[in-house]
Amino acid sequence: MNAGNIISCQEFCSFHKIESSFLINLQEYGLIEIQSVEGEDYIDNDILDDVERMLRLHYELEINMPGIEAIGHMLKRVDELQNKMQILENRLREYEDFSEL
């Protein structure tokens, strides 16, 4: 992990006014990875949007960890299906363009 690409768990929790146990629970459910560097815990900046989404699901909608896990899996699957659909639409467009020649 590059120091410019990580954020302290303590800083994240302080900013969002949450307990660090929330991030620990996310890690225990395999939803995020927490890295320890010199005794300090960090999360990767690349997953901040995901962590903040999970934070809102938990604190604003009162969804428990198993629910957050299920929603995360469903959202990942939706993204995969959207990507496959885009690939298929592009292929179809190529065939349509070819048949017009």
Q: What is the pLDDT of residue 97?
A: 82
Q: What is the pLDDT of residue 57?
A: 96
Structure pTM? 0.78
Query: Mapped to the 3 state alphabet, what secondary structure does the chain carry?
Result: CCHHHEEEHHHHHHHHCCCHHHHHHHHHCCCCCCEEECCEEEEEHHHHHHHHHHHHHHHCCCCCHHHHHHHHHHHHHHHHHHHHHHHHHHHHHHHHHHHCC
Interval 21-65: pLDDT, tens: 999 999 999 999 999 999 999 999 999 999 999 999 999 999 999
Domains, the chain, in order of start with CATH, read 3-99 (1.10.1660.10)
